[in-house]
Structure 1
Amino acid sequence: MSEDFYCEEVLSGRTPVQKVLETDNVLAYHHTRPFYPVHIVTIPKRHIPSLIALDEGDNALIIEIMEIVKKVASQVVSEHGACRVITNLGQYQDSKHLHFHVVFGQPLHKS
């Protein structure tokens, strides 16, 4: 996998995705290779390497991202009764682009 799957594949349109919610700055879509029965990814459309790479100039964007994550999470909780919201950093972060996973259920694969 590339360093930034989201810019190189998803946002470029090379990998089609099933959109859940979208604004001018944020995209939420069903994971292309889900690890959970319900697995939705939310990303900024602008490249930001990770949560800890955000700066004060990104405050409006992070609020917008959190609004989308909240809407997606609310929808999953409404349909399934629960969810997790996950972001990864460092070696846990496969794609070096800020993203949040909204998931429900037990992992589909063993790591």
Structure 2
Amino acid sequence: MAQYSGDDFYCDVAMPRREPLQVVFEDRDVLAFHHTRPFWPVHIVVVPKAHVDSLLTLEDSGLASRLLEVVQSVAADVVARHGKASVMTNLGDYQDSKHLHVHVHAGRPLRSVS
């Protein structure tokens, strides 16, 4: 697939499977998969399937709870396999894709931040 240039990779590409994904977890509300362009050796992204702009606009407490449950499970698996994990989300101008997504990662960055 050519370099994506839109502003919601998750709604536009990931969920409709326009690009192959290595899925870690999926149910009717949440999708977790290995990042398609990883920044860390272990880099999993967890997203709500419903469009939510960011953590600042997440108002559905049921979805928030389910998302956090999946993040917790994915992070626990990364810790069990690699001994450590970091969990983060981005907001505002730091958020390249304007869809709430949580990164679960481990290891040293694969490239420098530009």
Match for residue 8 of structure 2? 4
What code does the residue aligned with 1:17 have? Answer: L
Counterparts of 1:1-111 in structure 2 under 5 Å?
A: 1-55=5-59, 58-111=60-113
Structure 1 stretches of 4+ with a deviation exceeding 4 A read none
1-side partners of 2:54 and 2:62: how far apart?
16
Residue 44 of structure 1: how far off its partner (Å): 0.4
Shift of 1:11: 0.8
With normalisation by structure 2, the TM-score equals: 0.94
Q: Give 1:13 deviation, angstroms.
A: 1.4
Unaligned residue ranges in structure 2 (runs of 5+):
none
Structure 1, residues 14-70: CA drift from partner, whole Å, max 9, x if none?
Answer: 112000011110000000000000000000001000000112xx1000100000000
Mapped partners of 1:53, 1:100: distance in 2: 14
Distance 2:44 2:14 in 1: 13
Task: Specify the SS of the correspondent of 2:45.
Answer: strand
The two structures, once aligned, show a CA RMSD in angstroms of: 0.6
Cα deviation for residue 109 of structure 1 reads 0.5
Residue correspondences, number: 109
Which structure has greater helix proportion?
1
Superposition deviation, residue 71 in structure 1: 0.5
Q: Return the alpha-carbon distance in structure 1 between the equivalents of residues 41 and 91 of structure 2.
A: 23
* Matches of 1:32 and 1:42, distance apart in 2: 12
What's the secondary structure of 2:47's corresponding residue?
Answer: strand
Unaligned runs of 5+ in 1: none
